[in-house]
Amino acid sequence: MESSPQTQRRTNWAVYQHFSTASDSPTPLLSRGASETVNYSESDQQPDACERVSLSPNNKFVPGLSEDNGDILRDFSKLGCCQKITTLLTSSHQFNNLQVEMLYQRYFLRTNQSHMVHLLVLLCILFTCMAIAVVLSDYETQVQCSLLLLCCILIYLVIIGIVSRSGLNEVYLSFVSYVVLATFLLIELSFGVLTRSQAVTVPTLVFVYISYSLLPVKLQYAIVAGTVFMLSQLIFTLSMEQGLSKQSFINLLLLACTNVTGVMMHYPNEVAKRQAFLETRQCVQARLTTQKVNQQQERLLLSVLPRHVAMEMKADIAGKRHDSMFHKIYIQKHENVSILFADICGFTSLSDQCTAQELVRLLNELFARFDRLAQENACLRIKLLGDCYYCVSGLPEHRPDHANCCVQMGLDMIDAITLVRDVMDVNVNMRVGIHSGRVHCGVLGLCKWQFDVWSNDVTLANQMESGGIPGRIHITADTLKYLGNAYQVEPGNGGERNAFLKDHNIETYLIVPPETTYVSQYYKKQSPGHAHNGNISKEFRIMGHNQRHNTFTCKDEPELNHGEVDEYLLCAIDARSIDRLKSQYCYPITLKFRDTNIEQIYSKVPDRMLYTYMTCTVCIYSAITAGHVIILPLSYLLLGCLLIGWLMIFLSAVVIFRNRLMEMTEPLKKASQTINQNRSIAQSLALAIIVCCFLTSMTPLIIHKLEVCFNEQNKNATEVLVVENPIIIRESACQLLFNYLTVCVIILMILVAVYQVLISLVKLSLLIFISTCYFIFSSIFLNHRPIEESFWIRILMFVVMLGLIVALILQAQQTEVTSRLDFLWKLQATEEKEDMEHLEAYNRKLLANILPVHVAEHFLTLDKPVDELYHEQCDSVCIMFASIPNFSEFYVELEANNEGVECLRLLNEIIADFDELLSEPRFQCIEKIKSTGATYMAASGLTRHTCDSKQYSHVTAMADYALRLREQLAYVNEHSFNNFRIRIGINIGSVVAGVIGARKPQYDIWGNAVNVASRMDSTGVLDKIQVTDEVYEILKLKGYPLTCRGVIEVKGKGNMVTYFLDNYAQQN
């Protein structure tokens, strides 16, 4: 088991990583800050009201709505009945939290405002062109139609003026949308009555699609508008004709198809936008939560370490690793400071009156009072050593009145302990010693850092306390020099009570205390019933020790609530400029991100609406198939084209829907994953589907038209198609086919718009191709009309088609801009959240090197009571003290060694080597408690996971660790040409572990076992490991060689039999 100490030196970073290993476990401390995931499920069990931001229609939870909100087919299949589908389609989506809903509406207000202005401008231009075309034509009702269009244009111009105002809210925008829908209905009805033509179906199709895609109205109102448009078309047709013609039937079928397509696009579009907003909000919330946790961590960190030390350590952790022969030392030198040491005299009698837990609480409340006094008196508390408290004034910033601050601090401490003495009727007092001079301050080692000070002046201040008088402040001549005449003093005669002061001929003085104190006057005002009541907490509340500002807890900082998140989002939304973001981050036409890295990330984001696209394709192609079967005679060409189209759609659906509908082979699964995860391939597939649908739809129609027109020209008469249904009237075959061609082209153009995965340029190319083919085909379909009449029809169709193309491209641009900017905002929020998480990780690593992880969790937990004290009873804890007694002889302050800094550098190397040993797997159960000067303290078995009360593996680990310390110091001596000698003491027993000094928490352990372990060190022998009889009994059974030292006298314990641990356990 013996190993050589000549192990390879590791860098600070490697040791940081080791001591933060526990941080990687999924504990509350370390997992805090992860973004909250809002899952859409059927469960009614929701978080509290402020967290219920799940998507629902009319504040009812949507069944089957998953995180994949584009999966409309899957959602529909989960609904299960017509009633749920009806509820889903006729309900408006909104968040349960009204504040979040308001933010969502504000989030898209400017976008909707801009889109509305663009749409109205487009309608004005379109209606103007139509009015001009109508005026120039020879229609009988051209005046009425032109006036109607001009009235609509005027209405739109007024609305543009209203919508363009910056103070517009969501209510006015919705009202404006309803006005626009009313003008659409007016145009449909008026044109139908005035023209008595089936051509009114064309603008009706456009109006229906605009209702769903370009107007910011709720789905239920869009459905109402689309249904009204369709019913008005039906009523108009029935009033104009004796029956329902083929053309009218097909028009109604395509209108119904457009409505269904609009619903299927509007629903997942709305859900996708809401989820994008919700994800952005969650990122912001996670960022703010992480920021709040980071503030709490940093506050805890800065309560233990001064800011300049903590920031330097954090920078080193965040920076690159640097290999060097020596570990970095965090020490600074400060001149002209005053050091105060204070010790509680009679602490043993005080501790006899309370249990160990009550003692910890007593110390915590007392030292919390001292911490508050230190802050009021501009003193920096350095460390707590049992019942000893010491602080420094003049750190980290210089103060000319540092001596005065320390003296006032000492007077206040004496007043505070006087109140304890009067309240508890215990003979306790404070012995205070102060000296002024130079200190080196900082931390030593690699883990469990505690800010400390070192110098000969610190040693002298400590001796001033030891040679002082209870209830008095003992100062040196150097301190008196800084005080001037601020206090009355008298000779201290410290040399008579302390050998160190006598040997160094130190002149000392005692501060003459004031006759009355504030505490004494305060106590006299209290009821006498407060004394001797045995309630420590109540007694100390009289002192104000248990007040809120005396306790370190995360409740001091209010818990992050959703109001903060919403307020942050509101400010961000108000400052958000769509045009500025678009011009700053995107190219003008293609809308691609200027940053290629962002574009690559965006291109890898899967399109969650692929399932919706395919469903809409099936719906539209079904309507076209039905129309072809009704209008065209059955032929091999028609059946072949339709079969090719359906085969293409079926294969695409099988690949896209993956194994949602059926089990798939491995090649199909790979193809499905590739399409669903790669936008470029998905775009290519969408392009192929659209082209296939267009070709298979147009080919039989055009060929049949050529045949019909050829036959009609030969007969020079109008023939009708075979009509089996008596309610369908006879019409001109050419006119019927032309009208059908028009609505087919429009529905195919809508199909192009459905595929939002296509970029705007590709959509524009497809729309231009389809419209060009339409105008070429229209010359064939209108050859039976007079030239002048067919010319104006083409002009009107050209205006309508052009307007539709612009509207579809406008919608495509708006959708893509919204999608890209939402992605950008979410990406920025995610990056900010990650930055905060990295910052939290740095703080976490520092905290893991200051406090045990479970202790840090206690202080960072948000729901702890304000006055809750952290302490726990631990049984069978093995405690070790290891000291280097002759280091004090090595430490000298000379100009050659930078006033002692180089001596401390060597001590830092020794402690760092000791810390590195703790990273070995067999020593994982050992927790470093602290190092004070050249004394190192550690304990094992402090948690139920590390305490082995049966096999005592934590005791054997401590024994091995003590042996490794001795070997490591020998290794240091060999390479530094020194002769340091170590002295180690080990004991086992029950302890109380906890945190005292609430404003500046310090983890420590107390109990008789700790005192005995300390005595095993102080009464030990150099280069020996002294253990108690309890430890001997355990190690003997494990095969460790031990030698009995015999009976020794231990202060406070009497005679004890102790043993020396000689070597590692013998191998079996």
Residue ranges for the known binding site for Mg(2+) are 343-344, 387
Count CB-CB contacts under 10 A for residue 469: 17
Active site residue 343: yes
Looking at the DSSP bridge assignments, the partners of residue 983 are 883
Tokens of 72: 């409309």
Which of the following is catalytic: 153, 344, 984, 996?
Answer: 344
Separation CA 393–CA 526 (nearest Å): 33
Which of the following is catalytic: 343, 478, 566, 607?
Answer: 343
Tokens of 68: 């994949």
Looking at the DSSP bridge assignments, the partners of residue 624 are none
Cα three-residue angle 122-148-183, rounded to 5 degrees: 60
Q: Which residues are annotated as a binding site for ATP?
A: 343-348, 385-387, 431, 930, 1004-1006, 1011-1015, 1051
Looking at the DSSP bridge assignments, the partners of residue 212 are none
Name the residue type at position 27: T
Tokens of 799: 């205006």
Concatenating the DSSP letter of every residue in 183-252 gives: HHHHHHHHHHHHH--GGGHHHHHHHHHHHHHTS---HHHHHHHHHHHHHHHHHHHHHHSSS--HHHHHHH
Number of separate helices (H) and strands (E) present in the chain: 35, 18
452-454 and 429-443 beta bridge pairing: antiparallel
Tokens of 827: 């990406």
Which strand (E) or helix (H) includes residue 871?
A: strand 871-883
508-511 and 489-491 beta bridge pairing: antiparallel
Residue 630 CA neighbour count, 13 Å, CB half: 21
**What per-residue string of b and e applies to 513-545 under the rule 16 or more CB within 10 Å gives b?**
beeebebeeebeeeeeeeeeeeebeebbebbeb
Active site residue 387: yes
Tabulate helix, strand, coil % of the chain (nearest 5).
60, 10, 30
- Decide: 936 and 881 in contact? Cβ < 8 Å: yes
Which of the following is catalytic: 68, 75, 387, 915?
Answer: 387
Distance of CA 245 to the CA centre of its chain: 61
Separation CA 876–CA 958 (nearest Å): 13
Separation CA 88–CA 53 (nearest Å): 18
Q: Which residues are annotated as a binding site?
A: 343-348, 385-387, 431, 930, 1004-1006, 1011-1015, 1051
560, 491, 360: which is closest to 1004 by C-alpha?
360
- Decide: 28 and 554 in contact? Cβ < 8 Å: no
Q: Which long-range contacts (CB under 8 A, 24 or more apart) does 533-542 make?
A: 536/354, 536/358, 536/361, 536/362, 536/365, 536/424, 537/361, 537/365, 539/423, 539/424, 540/362, 540/365, 540/366, 540/369, 542/419, 542/423
Question: Which residues, 6+ apart, have CB-to-CB distance to 844 below 8 Å?
Answer: 20, 23, 29, 30, 297
Q: Which residue has the tokens 């539709």?
A: 804
Separation CA 218–CA 91 (nearest Å): 8
Look up residue 35 and give its DSSP letter.
P
- Decide: 365 and 545 in contact? Cβ < 8 Å: yes
Reply yes or no: is the peptide bond before residue 633 cis, omega within 30 of 0: no
Tokens of 268: 């997942």
- Decide: 371 and 997 in contact? Cβ < 8 Å: yes
- Decide: 664 and 631 in contact? Cβ < 8 Å: no
Task: Cite the active site residues.
Answer: 343-344, 387
